[in-house]
Structure 1
Amino acid sequence: MNDFSFQTACPEGDPVVLPRAEHGISRSRITENSLKVLYRLHRHGYKAYLVGGGVRDLLLGRQPKDFDVGTDATPEQVKKLFRNCFLVGRRFRLAHIRFAGGELVEVATFRRAPTPEDIPEDPAEHPFYAENLFGTPRQDAFRRDFTINALFYNIADFSIIDHVGGLEDLQLRRIRVIGDPQERFREDPVRMLRALEFAARLDFDLDPAADAGIRQCAPLIAEASPARLREELMELVRHRVAGQVLAECQRYGMLEWLVPGFRLAPEAEALLRAMDDRGGKAPAPPEAKVLAALYYQEFFAGLDPERDMNLAEVLGRAGKLLRGHCQH
């Protein structure tokens, strides 16, 4: 991890600002196209920050797989600056800037949480109103999930801006939720899986409040969209932490709510961990292989003569567990 120093206390409302001389991020580690986006926004008078996981990874000495940009320019203003820009997302409006060679830089306008005055007379007619309320960088930081994902790199002076204590959490190697963990997990139960994922990927610990929040809110994972859960499962596979995270889900009592009736058997965990441990730059296994590993024990246990189940019953039971995946 890059060495850096920081002040741990600051006046209410003021961020910690880490000057260029006090952190190890070099522009040579940021892609040329990402720098083009940042500099053009800055030249036209807009705030332009690298945001999120890219800043976290650079501070940890890791090379990010992509870079995201935050700005006070609206999506329409961003589009005017870049001919190769396309606006995407109905729920959450974003600017995608695509370059030759396939690199895509995602640009998001700083958002804020809604106030009572923002609620429309008929929310049903405006279901996504809360996702597109533009705000300040500080307001945007407090909307993010974990402190280590809410750090900003300011292209204007190459400083790191920290509104939420993320620098300290990087130093202490801990995953801390922004705000009250139970409240944030109720807002979006998938955050519990993401907390476990980041802890596994980075070899960090959950802070006590996050740990307690997951134990309390574990059943809420059943309310998450199956499509999002499926996407998150494949994210665990891509980052080679599926076996570890699903074992943690079982330890927290979350797995039984993720997949009712399912328990991660030692054989299935071993298969997933073997996939996680594949060497070099081997591609992630296809989803079919992941599901086969997950349900391996359920299928073969049914073939045990002592359980007195015929093949139709075995396939029926395994099929019930698989159906949620196959429908989305």
Structure 2
Amino acid sequence: MIKRIFNAISRRLARITPEQTREVTGAEISGTNVQTYSGHQQGIHHRLIDKAALDTVFSLKRAGYEAYLVGGAVRDLMLGIEPKDFDIVTNASPDQVKQVFRHRCQLIGRRFRLAHVRYGRLIIEVATFRGGQDDNHPARQIDDSGRLLRDNVYGTMDEDVWRRDFTINALYYDPKRDVVIDYVDGREDLQAAQIALIGDPWVRYREDPVRMIRAVRFAAKLGFNLAPSAEAPIAELGGLLKEVSNARLFDEVLKLFHSGAAILVFEKLRHYDLFKHLFPLTDAILATENEHFPRQLVIEALQSTDRRIAEDKPVNPAFLFAAMLWEPMMQARQDYLDDGLSPQDALFAAAGDVLHIQCSHTAVPKRFTAQVRDIWNLQFRLHKRFGDRAAALRAHPRFRAAYDFIGIRVAAGETELKDLFDWWTDYQEKDPLEQIRFANQMVRDAKPGRRKRSNRNFYRKKSDQSATHD
């Protein structure tokens, strides 16, 4: 999927030329340096826009308000990518939007007041134009570090554009007049394939530190680079992510690693030293080697996730966190084993410790932490596949995730698990009667009194291998 996106972007960038501009007559659009383009000439066609999004825009216009498509949808349309989400901006207040759509509309948010308009299961997000930079306005609240806590100051499109984050996400499209409106040279940055912030990056990152990881996500997803001005503050301001709520960071982690470009996201987060603020335990262990080899499990897991997304298969957040935290958990488990705990108690204690620390950074919901525990626990139970146990394990709701997890462990270098993985692969391909015979054969082949001991030292910490990554 990522290759298709890159190819589509390349074709679109080659077709975007300065000659594809035209001025809009009248005084509808004010502001300095504003440029307007024919939507059709930029590759925007109504058949590519969800009908619900068009209906929302035209309903607001019929009610006497301004309304535009904005943000990622316009960007993607201009790049030849089919948008997945459509955001709309209007001069109607949230309460006025609710009056237009009545029972179909729900108002949400405290930090930014938004309207969600429902069309069946589809939600179209409608925002009111944001106002100017009056930090003393009673509807705007900023903390001592410059982080924007609340911003419900409304204004005009001329003001709204400067409240947006990146130039390529600040393009407005009026479907009625077929016009793209560009205040900040967003189209020029699309041509240059770069991520640039609107305004002073140092100020904008302080307002919302999440913009740093959003910049990484867009760069990875689109195959763009960060503009030098967008890169410069990250090394110094990355620590501000500690002040972002852990619930919000959980949502951002899913967007990062379920974007279809997880490997590129991971590499860029590590390059900009931001990964440690999202997965501190994982970041620390990635700085060490495992028996003189780089740790590959995270890479294999992210590659697997990218493949599933490219094939339009579902992905589970629990699998992502199970993979990210597996080696920190195994290190903690080894410590508990060394202290004399039983293998089961050591696993339980280690899982609790690691998940507790992780949730203080990204608030993983309990339904996912329970699944993570199941995936980890099954890594040890899947070895015990004799007779009736195989069918019971196969019926476990987390069996498939645990089986896939063994697969990435094998791919990451744990070759001693290959026979186990192959056995379960063969087992799943057989019909129920053959599965019974196959599992019973394990009982007949087993040699009494010969139980293979696991390598308890595999994850033992060694002083000459320990390292930190600040």
Q: TM-score range by the shorter chain?
A: 0.7 to 0.9
- Pick from 296, 300, 308 the counterpart of residue 266 of structure 1: 296
- Pick from 40, 43, 48 the counterpart of residue 59 of structure 2: 40
TM-score of the pair, normalised by structure 2: 0.62
- Distance in 2 of aligned mates of 1:301 and 1:34: 50
Q: Which amino acid aligns with 2:313?
A: A
**8 Å contact from structure 1 (residues 200, 245) kept in 2:** yes
Shift of 1:76: 2.2
Identify the residue that residue 282 of structure 1 maps to in structure 2: 313
Identify the residue that residue 80 of structure 1 maps to in structure 2: 99
Q: Which SS does the other structure have where 1:54 is aligned?
A: helix
Q: Which aligned runs of 4 or more in structure 1 are off by greater than 6 angstroms? A: 120-124
Report the more deviating stretch, 311-320 or 289-298: 311-320
Report the more deviating stretch, 292-301 or 199-208: 292-301
Identify the residue that residue 46 of structure 2 maps to in structure 1: 27
Shift of 1:114: 3.8
Q: Which amino acid aligns with 1:155?
A: P
- Pick from 65, 70, 77 the counterpart of residue 89 of structure 2: 70
Shift of 1:280: 1.2
Report the more deviating stretch, 217-226 or 286-295: 217-226
- Distance in 1 of aligned mates of 2:177 and 2:208: 35
Instruction: Tell me how large the CA RMSD over aligned residues is.
Output: 3.1
| Structure 1 residues 121 and 145, CA gap change in structure 2 (3 angstroms) | closer
Shift of 1:102: 1.9
**8 Å contact from structure 1 (residues 147, 176) kept in 2:** yes
Shift of 1:204: 0.7
Shift of 1:4: 2.8
CA shift digits 1:235-278 (9 cap, x unpaired): 12321233332332222222223333432443222222221222
Q: Which SS does the other structure have where 1:82 is aligned?
A: helix
Q: Which SS does the other structure have where 2:213 is aligned?
A: helix
Matched, 1:322 2:342: no
CA shift digits 1:46-102 (9 cap, x unpaired): 211001111011111111112111111122222222232232333322222212x32
Shift of 1:17: 0.6
- Distance in 1 of aligned mates of 2:105 and 2:351: 49
| Structure 1 residues 175 and 274, CA gap change in structure 2 (3 angstroms) | same
| Structure 1 residues 315 and 80, CA gap change in structure 2 (3 angstroms) | closer
| Structure 1 residues 320 and 38, CA gap change in structure 2 (3 angstroms) | closer
Shift of 1:301: 4.4
Identify the residue that residue 61 of structure 1 maps to in structure 2: 80
| Structure 1 residues 108 and 117, CA gap change in structure 2 (3 angstroms) | same
Matched, 1:192 2:212: yes
Q: Which SS does the other structure have where 2:280 is aligned?
A: coil
CA shift digits 1:4-43 (9 cap, x unpaired): 33489x9972311112453210011111121112122223
* 5+ residue gaps, structure 1: none
Identify the residue that residue 172 of structure 1 maps to in structure 2: 192
Q: Which SS does the other structure have where 1:277 is aligned?
A: helix
Q: Which amino acid aligns with 2:17?
A: S
**8 Å contact from structure 1 (residues 6, 18) kept in 2:** no
| Aligned pairs (5 A) from 1:1-328 | 1=9, 2=12, 3-6=15-18, 13-20=32-39, 22-83=41-102, 84-99=104-119, 101-116=120-135, 118-119=137-138, 130-263=150-283, 264=286, 265-278=295-308, 279-284=310-315, 286-301=316-331, 312=346, 314-315=350-351, 318-324=354-360, 325=362
| Structure 1 residues 148 and 254, CA gap change in structure 2 (3 angstroms) | same
Q: Which amino acid aligns with 1:35?
A: L
| Structure 1 residues 281 and 327, CA gap change in structure 2 (3 angstroms) | closer
Shift of 1:225: 1.2
**8 Å contact from structure 2 (residues 256, 265) kept in 1:** yes
- Distance in 1 of aligned mates of 2:159 and 2:298: 43
Q: Which amino acid aligns with 1:61?
A: G
Shift of 1:297: 2.1
- Distance in 1 of aligned mates of 2:245 and 2:217: 18
Shift of 1:136: 1.2
| Structure 1 residues 120 and 181, CA gap change in structure 2 (3 angstroms) | closer
Tell which structure's C-alpha radius of gyration is larger: 2
The number of equivalent residue pairs is 321
CA shift digits 1:90-148 (9 cap, x unpaired): 3322222212x322222111012341552479999xxx995211111121111111111
TM-score of the pair, normalised by structure 1: 0.86
- Distance in 1 of aligned mates of 2:200 and 2:140: 29
- Distance in 1 of aligned mates of 2:122 and 2:113: 20
